[in-house]
Amino acid sequence: MANIPTEIPSLKLNDGTSIPLLGYGTGTAWYKKSAGGIDRTTVETFKTAIRLGYYHLDGAEFYNTEPELGAAIKESGVPREKLFVTTKVITGINDIPKAIDASLKKLQLEYVDLYLIHAPYFANSDAELQRAWVEMEGVKKSGKARSIGVSNYLQSHLEATLKTATIPPSINQIEYHPYLQHGDLIPFQQANQNIATAAYGPLIPITKAKPGPCDVILENLAKKYYVSEGEIALRWAIDQGISAVTTSGKESRLSDYLRALTFKLTPREVKDISEAGAEKHFRGFWQGKFAADDRS
Protein backbone atom coordinates (compact mmCIF):
# COMPACT_ATOMS: atom_id res chain seq x y z
CA MET A 1 0.00 0.00 0.00
CA ALA A 2 1.38 3.37 -1.00
CA ASN A 3 2.08 6.05 1.58
CA ILE A 4 1.75 9.24 -0.42
CA PRO A 5 1.94 12.52 1.53
CA THR A 6 1.40 14.54 -1.66
CA GLU A 7 -1.45 17.04 -1.51
CA ILE A 8 -3.87 16.62 -4.40
CA PRO A 9 -3.37 19.50 -6.90
CA SER A 10 -6.30 21.66 -7.94
CA LEU A 11 -7.72 23.17 -11.11
CA LYS A 12 -8.97 26.77 -11.08
CA LEU A 13 -12.53 27.12 -12.37
CA ASN A 14 -14.01 30.00 -14.36
CA ASP A 15 -15.61 31.50 -11.23
CA GLY A 16 -12.30 31.67 -9.36
CA THR A 17 -12.83 28.64 -7.13
CA SER A 18 -10.60 25.56 -7.40
CA ILE A 19 -11.44 21.85 -7.65
CA PRO A 20 -9.02 19.05 -6.68
CA LEU A 21 -7.89 17.04 -9.71
CA LEU A 22 -8.59 13.71 -8.01
CA GLY A 23 -11.88 12.95 -6.30
CA TYR A 24 -13.66 10.16 -4.45
CA GLY A 25 -17.03 9.06 -5.78
CA THR A 26 -19.85 8.11 -3.40
CA GLY A 27 -22.17 6.59 -6.01
CA THR A 28 -21.85 3.46 -8.18
CA ALA A 29 -20.79 0.80 -5.67
CA TRP A 30 -22.44 2.69 -2.79
CA TYR A 31 -25.75 3.44 -4.53
CA LYS A 32 -28.82 2.66 -2.39
CA LYS A 33 -32.18 1.88 -3.99
CA SER A 34 -33.95 3.83 -1.27
CA ALA A 35 -32.92 6.32 1.38
CA GLY A 36 -33.62 4.14 4.44
CA GLY A 37 -31.36 4.41 7.48
CA ILE A 38 -27.69 5.25 7.56
CA ASP A 39 -25.39 2.41 6.49
CA ARG A 40 -22.49 2.47 8.94
CA THR A 41 -20.27 0.36 6.68
CA THR A 42 -20.60 3.00 3.98
CA VAL A 43 -19.88 5.78 6.49
CA GLU A 44 -16.67 4.05 7.57
CA THR A 45 -15.62 3.55 3.94
CA PHE A 46 -16.12 7.25 3.22
CA LYS A 47 -14.18 8.14 6.37
CA THR A 48 -11.29 5.97 5.18
CA ALA A 49 -11.18 7.88 1.90
CA ILE A 50 -11.09 11.20 3.76
CA ARG A 51 -8.35 9.95 6.09
CA LEU A 52 -6.23 8.99 3.10
CA GLY A 53 -6.49 12.53 1.74
CA TYR A 54 -9.45 12.39 -0.63
CA TYR A 55 -10.89 15.77 0.27
CA HIS A 56 -12.80 16.06 -3.03
CA LEU A 57 -15.99 14.12 -2.29
CA ASP A 58 -18.44 13.58 -5.13
CA GLY A 59 -22.06 12.87 -4.15
CA ALA A 60 -25.59 13.12 -5.53
CA GLU A 61 -29.15 13.02 -4.25
CA PHE A 62 -29.82 10.12 -6.63
CA TYR A 63 -27.21 7.90 -4.93
CA ASN A 64 -29.14 8.06 -1.64
CA THR A 65 -25.82 8.25 0.20
CA GLU A 66 -25.85 11.93 1.19
CA PRO A 67 -26.64 11.03 4.84
CA GLU A 68 -23.66 8.66 4.93
CA LEU A 69 -21.41 11.26 3.34
CA GLY A 70 -22.59 13.88 5.81
CA ALA A 71 -21.92 11.58 8.75
CA ALA A 72 -18.46 10.72 7.40
CA ILE A 73 -17.59 14.40 6.99
CA LYS A 74 -18.77 15.22 10.51
CA GLU A 75 -16.93 12.29 12.07
CA SER A 76 -13.73 12.75 10.07
CA GLY A 77 -12.54 15.71 12.08
CA VAL A 78 -11.32 17.44 8.91
CA PRO A 79 -12.18 21.17 8.90
CA ARG A 80 -14.99 21.96 6.47
CA GLU A 81 -12.91 24.51 4.58
CA LYS A 82 -10.39 21.82 3.61
CA LEU A 83 -13.04 19.71 1.90
CA PHE A 84 -14.50 20.07 -1.58
CA VAL A 85 -18.01 18.60 -1.53
CA THR A 86 -20.06 18.05 -4.68
CA THR A 87 -23.66 16.96 -4.91
CA LYS A 88 -26.09 16.78 -7.81
CA VAL A 89 -29.78 17.27 -8.48
CA ILE A 90 -32.03 15.22 -10.75
CA THR A 91 -34.83 13.72 -8.62
CA GLY A 92 -35.73 17.18 -7.39
CA ILE A 93 -35.06 18.97 -10.67
CA ASN A 94 -38.52 20.57 -10.77
CA ASP A 95 -37.82 22.49 -7.56
CA ILE A 96 -34.08 23.07 -7.31
CA PRO A 97 -34.25 25.48 -4.32
CA LYS A 98 -36.08 22.78 -2.35
CA ALA A 99 -33.67 20.09 -3.57
CA ILE A 100 -30.52 21.92 -2.45
CA ASP A 101 -32.04 22.49 0.99
CA ALA A 102 -32.85 18.77 1.28
CA SER A 103 -29.33 17.81 0.22
CA LEU A 104 -27.69 20.23 2.66
CA LYS A 105 -29.81 18.85 5.48
CA LYS A 106 -28.74 15.28 4.69
CA LEU A 107 -25.11 16.34 4.32
CA GLN A 108 -25.27 18.36 7.56
CA LEU A 109 -23.63 21.25 5.71
CA GLU A 110 -24.37 24.94 5.22
CA TYR A 111 -23.09 24.89 1.63
CA VAL A 112 -21.60 22.61 -1.01
CA ASP A 113 -18.56 23.53 -3.03
CA LEU A 114 -20.12 22.36 -6.28
CA TYR A 115 -23.75 21.73 -7.23
CA LEU A 116 -24.48 19.99 -10.53
CA ILE A 117 -27.51 19.17 -12.65
CA HIS A 118 -26.96 15.41 -12.82
CA ALA A 119 -28.12 14.94 -16.41
CA PRO A 120 -29.99 16.87 -19.11
CA TYR A 121 -32.50 14.15 -19.89
CA PHE A 122 -35.26 15.65 -17.74
CA ALA A 123 -35.70 18.37 -20.38
CA ASN A 124 -37.81 18.11 -23.50
CA SER A 125 -36.84 21.56 -24.73
CA ASP A 126 -34.16 24.22 -24.52
CA ALA A 127 -36.55 26.26 -22.38
CA GLU A 128 -36.64 23.53 -19.74
CA LEU A 129 -32.83 23.42 -19.61
CA GLN A 130 -32.78 27.20 -19.30
CA ARG A 131 -35.43 27.24 -16.58
CA ALA A 132 -33.41 24.78 -14.49
CA TRP A 133 -30.26 26.83 -14.97
CA VAL A 134 -31.95 30.00 -13.70
CA GLU A 135 -32.70 28.12 -10.48
CA MET A 136 -29.09 26.87 -10.31
CA GLU A 137 -27.89 30.48 -10.57
CA GLY A 138 -30.18 31.28 -7.66
CA VAL A 139 -28.52 28.56 -5.59
CA LYS A 140 -25.09 30.10 -6.23
CA LYS A 141 -26.32 33.59 -5.44
CA SER A 142 -27.78 32.31 -2.16
CA GLY A 143 -24.36 31.01 -1.07
CA LYS A 144 -25.62 27.44 -0.76
CA ALA A 145 -23.22 26.38 -3.53
CA ARG A 146 -19.91 28.06 -4.23
CA SER A 147 -19.84 26.79 -7.80
CA ILE A 148 -22.52 25.42 -10.11
CA GLY A 149 -22.25 23.17 -13.12
CA VAL A 150 -23.73 20.33 -15.10
CA SER A 151 -23.15 16.65 -15.74
CA ASN A 152 -23.62 14.47 -18.81
CA TYR A 153 -24.29 17.52 -20.99
CA LEU A 154 -23.51 17.39 -24.70
CA GLN A 155 -22.67 20.45 -26.79
CA SER A 156 -26.32 21.04 -27.69
CA HIS A 157 -27.31 21.14 -24.00
CA LEU A 158 -24.49 23.56 -23.20
CA GLU A 159 -25.37 25.80 -26.13
CA ALA A 160 -28.98 26.02 -24.97
CA THR A 161 -27.93 26.76 -21.40
CA LEU A 162 -25.37 29.40 -22.37
CA LYS A 163 -27.88 31.30 -24.52
CA THR A 164 -29.63 32.68 -21.44
CA ALA A 165 -27.13 32.06 -18.63
CA THR A 166 -25.94 35.02 -16.59
CA ILE A 167 -23.52 32.72 -14.74
CA PRO A 168 -21.93 30.06 -16.96
CA PRO A 169 -21.50 26.48 -15.74
CA SER A 170 -18.12 26.05 -14.07
CA ILE A 171 -17.75 22.41 -15.04
CA ASN A 172 -19.32 19.53 -16.95
CA GLN A 173 -18.86 16.13 -15.32
CA ILE A 174 -18.95 13.41 -17.98
CA GLU A 175 -17.97 9.81 -18.50
CA TYR A 176 -14.50 10.29 -19.91
CA HIS A 177 -11.74 7.80 -20.69
CA PRO A 178 -9.69 6.76 -23.75
CA TYR A 179 -12.64 4.84 -25.24
CA LEU A 180 -15.08 7.76 -24.81
CA GLN A 181 -13.41 11.09 -25.62
CA HIS A 182 -16.55 12.92 -26.84
CA GLY A 183 -15.16 14.38 -30.05
CA ASP A 184 -15.17 18.19 -29.97
CA LEU A 185 -17.03 18.55 -26.66
CA ILE A 186 -14.05 19.47 -24.47
CA PRO A 187 -12.58 21.96 -26.98
CA PHE A 188 -16.06 23.51 -27.23
CA GLN A 189 -16.20 23.88 -23.45
CA GLN A 190 -12.76 25.47 -23.35
CA ALA A 191 -13.71 27.93 -26.08
CA ASN A 192 -17.02 28.81 -24.43
CA GLN A 193 -16.59 30.37 -20.99
CA ASN A 194 -13.70 27.98 -20.22
CA ILE A 195 -16.03 25.33 -18.79
CA ALA A 196 -13.87 22.73 -17.06
CA THR A 197 -14.28 18.95 -17.28
CA ALA A 198 -14.57 16.32 -14.58
CA ALA A 199 -14.33 12.66 -15.52
CA TYR A 200 -16.27 9.81 -14.00
CA GLY A 201 -15.50 6.26 -15.05
CA PRO A 202 -11.85 7.06 -15.84
CA LEU A 203 -10.82 3.45 -15.17
CA ILE A 204 -13.36 1.86 -17.53
CA PRO A 205 -10.74 0.73 -20.11
CA ILE A 206 -9.26 -1.41 -17.34
CA THR A 207 -12.33 -2.45 -15.36
CA LYS A 208 -15.00 -2.95 -18.03
CA ALA A 209 -13.58 -2.69 -21.56
CA LYS A 210 -10.77 -5.24 -21.83
CA PRO A 211 -9.45 -6.42 -24.19
CA GLY A 212 -8.81 -3.22 -26.11
CA PRO A 213 -6.24 -1.22 -28.06
CA CYS A 214 -5.06 0.61 -24.91
CA ASP A 215 -4.08 -2.58 -23.08
CA VAL A 216 -0.47 -2.73 -24.24
CA ILE A 217 0.34 0.96 -23.86
CA LEU A 218 -1.22 1.13 -20.38
CA GLU A 219 0.69 -1.99 -19.34
CA ASN A 220 3.99 -0.64 -20.69
CA LEU A 221 3.57 2.77 -19.06
CA ALA A 222 2.63 1.12 -15.75
CA LYS A 223 5.96 -0.73 -15.86
CA LYS A 224 7.85 2.45 -16.78
CA TYR A 225 6.44 4.46 -13.88
CA TYR A 226 6.21 1.56 -11.36
CA VAL A 227 2.48 2.03 -10.86
CA SER A 228 -0.69 0.18 -11.90
CA GLU A 229 -2.61 0.63 -15.13
CA GLY A 230 -5.28 2.38 -13.09
CA GLU A 231 -2.87 5.09 -12.03
CA ILE A 232 -1.86 5.59 -15.67
CA ALA A 233 -5.53 6.00 -16.64
CA LEU A 234 -6.06 8.55 -13.87
CA ARG A 235 -2.92 10.43 -14.83
CA TRP A 236 -4.02 10.54 -18.47
CA ALA A 237 -7.07 12.55 -17.38
CA ILE A 238 -5.20 14.72 -14.86
CA ASP A 239 -2.51 15.62 -17.39
CA GLN A 240 -5.25 17.05 -19.60
CA GLY A 241 -6.43 19.30 -16.78
CA ILE A 242 -9.44 17.09 -16.08
CA SER A 243 -10.60 16.31 -12.55
CA ALA A 244 -10.83 12.52 -12.26
CA VAL A 245 -13.40 10.96 -9.92
CA THR A 246 -12.89 7.34 -8.92
CA THR A 247 -13.87 5.06 -6.06
CA SER A 248 -13.09 1.80 -4.30
CA GLY A 249 -14.07 0.04 -1.11
CA LYS A 250 -10.50 -1.18 -0.64
CA GLU A 251 -8.21 1.06 1.38
CA SER A 252 -5.12 -0.34 -0.31
CA ARG A 253 -6.46 0.48 -3.76
CA LEU A 254 -7.47 4.02 -2.78
CA SER A 255 -4.03 4.52 -1.33
CA ASP A 256 -2.39 3.22 -4.48
CA TYR A 257 -4.46 5.53 -6.69
CA LEU A 258 -2.72 8.45 -4.97
CA ARG A 259 0.46 7.37 -6.74
CA ALA A 260 -1.06 9.03 -9.81
CA LEU A 261 0.10 12.28 -8.18
CA THR A 262 3.77 11.26 -8.07
CA PHE A 263 4.56 11.38 -11.80
CA LYS A 264 3.48 12.99 -15.07
CA LEU A 265 2.99 11.45 -18.47
CA THR A 266 4.81 13.09 -21.34
CA PRO A 267 2.67 14.91 -23.92
CA ARG A 268 3.57 12.14 -26.37
CA GLU A 269 2.35 9.46 -23.96
CA VAL A 270 -0.94 11.31 -23.40
CA LYS A 271 -1.37 11.54 -27.17
CA ASP A 272 -0.48 7.87 -27.70
CA ILE A 273 -3.15 6.77 -25.20
CA SER A 274 -5.70 9.08 -26.83
CA GLU A 275 -4.92 7.77 -30.31
CA ALA A 276 -5.07 4.14 -29.20
CA GLY A 277 -8.34 4.82 -27.37
CA ALA A 278 -9.88 6.33 -30.51
CA GLU A 279 -9.68 2.90 -32.14
CA LYS A 280 -12.43 1.58 -29.85
CA HIS A 281 -15.73 2.95 -28.58
CA PHE A 282 -17.12 1.88 -25.22
CA ARG A 283 -19.73 3.62 -23.08
CA GLY A 284 -20.13 2.37 -19.53
CA PHE A 285 -23.12 4.50 -18.50
CA TRP A 286 -26.34 5.84 -20.09
CA GLN A 287 -26.10 3.33 -22.95
CA GLY A 288 -29.86 3.52 -23.45
CA LYS A 289 -29.60 7.19 -24.44
CA PHE A 290 -27.20 6.65 -27.34
CA ALA A 291 -26.82 4.59 -30.49
CA ALA A 292 -24.14 1.92 -30.20
CA ASP A 293 -21.73 3.86 -32.43
CA ASP A 294 -22.49 7.35 -31.04
CA ARG A 295 -19.27 8.80 -29.62
CA SER A 296 -20.71 12.20 -28.62
Could you give phi then psi for residue 108, rounded to 5 degrees?
Answer: 60, 40
Which active-site residues does the annotation give?
A: 63, 118
Distance of alpha carbon 57 from alpha carbon 120, whole angstroms: 22
Listed residue (83, 84, 115, 76) closest to 99, CA to CA: 115
Indicate the residue type of 16. G
Buried b (16+ CB within 10 A) or exposed e, 90-117: bebbeebeebbebbbebbebebbbbbbb
Contact 119, 90 (CB under 8 A): yes
Contact 139, 100 (CB under 8 A): yes
